[in-house]
Amino acid sequence: MENNAEIVTIYVMGKKHNVPGDLTIMKAMEYAGHQFTRGAGCRGGYCGACATLYRKKGSYKLEGALACQKIVEDGMYIAQIPFNPAEKTTYSLDELRPDANTILEYYPELSRCLACNTCTKACPQDIMVMDYVQASLRGDIEQAAKLSFDCISCGLCAVRCPAEIVPYNVGQLARRLYARYVDGPSQHVLDRVKEVEEGKFDEGIKELKNMDKAALQERYETREKILE
């Protein structure tokens, strides 16, 4: 398909490319010949796999974005970051208590938070990251869980944090504690689990498993869409 957009110049890991200026970073990199085998996922801004750092022409400032969402700009220098170096601690939710001590026990680095707000400024989801980190420190599990609800674990906050805190792991623990101990199980989830256990979906799953690729694709494309 013809693209009449203005051509802009970008640099991917230092290499110069001329690309249409209406493409996202991800599409521009593909236009330039890059094949994503890592660092790409849903392409819709939901999975957080394509965290990317860039610098604009004439600016020393490193900025972060999701490559599938951010439109390229002329003179942009782009570098994808390796998967975030987050050591995720393991725990058994059934053995935890929903309080600040629990979060600090698993993520003691939280106490180093400088309240600098760098994490909030780095978040492509516009999440109040510092606020949920601080809520976690205070043991306000509900606040931490709610403020971090839209986190997609892209890691851009962790990359920028001067105290080497990994906010998204903290938010995930807060949400798990909230769901397990504060909010409790949702009735509709319990109902659905019961339906699954009683075999309500067995026939449908069997039918899907017996379909060939073309039929599956047709079914997928004509499915009822609940999110647009």
Q: Which of residues 123-152 bind ligand SF4 (CB under 6 A)?
A: 123, 125, 127, 129-130, 133, 151-152
Task: Pick the closer one to ligand SF4 by CB: 19 or 48.
Answer: 48
Binding of ligand SF4 by 168 (CB under 6 A): yes
CB of 109 to ligand SF4, least distance (A): 9
Q: Which helix (H) or strand (E) holds 79?
A: strand 76-80
Choose between 162 and 185: whose C-beta lies nearer to ligand SF4: 162
**For ligand SF4, which residue of 163, 172, 179, 181 counts as binding (CB under 6 A)?**
163
The yes or no reply on residue 162 touching ligand SF4 (CB under 6 A) is: yes
- Residue 8 binds to ligand SF4 (criterion: CB under 6 A): no
Tell me the one-letter amino acid at 62: L
AA identity, residue 227: L
Least distance between ligand SF4 and beta carbon 39 (Å): 14
Q: Which residues on adjacent β-strands are paired with residue 52?
A: 65, 80
DSSP for 26-63 reads: HHHHHHTT---SSS---SSSSS-TTEEEEE-TT---EE
Interaction between residue 42 and ligand SF4 (CB under 6 A): no
Total of chain residues touching ligand SF4, rule CB under 6 A: 28
Alpha helix stretches (DSSP H) within the chain: 25-31, 100-106, 118-122, 129-138, 141-147, 156-160, 167-177, 187-197, 202-209, 213-221
CB of 101 to ligand SF4, least distance (A): 19
Q: Measured in whole angstroms, how far is the alpha carbon of residue 16 from the centre of its chain?
A: 28
Please check whether residue 52 is in contact with residue 66, taking contact to mean a CB–CB distance below 8 angstroms: yes
CB of 165 to ligand SF4, least distance (A): 4
Q: Which of 67, 103, 122, 137 binds ligand SF4 (CB under 6 A)?
A: 122
* Phi, psi for residue 199 in degrees, rounded to 5: 85, 15
Measured CA to CA, the distance from residue 133 to residue 65 in angstroms comes to: 21
Tell me the residue length of the chain. 228
Look up residue 224 and give its two tokens: 């009822």
* Comparison of 151 and 177: residue with beta carbon closer to ligand SF4: 151
The CB-of-199 to ligand SF4 minimum distance in angstroms stands at: 38
Smallest distance from ligand SF4 to CB 56, Å = 19
94-113 positions binding ligand SF4, by CB under 6 A: 113
Binding residues for ligand SF4 (CB under 6 A) = 48, 113-119, 122-123, 125, 127, 129-130, 133, 151-157, 161-163, 165, 167-168
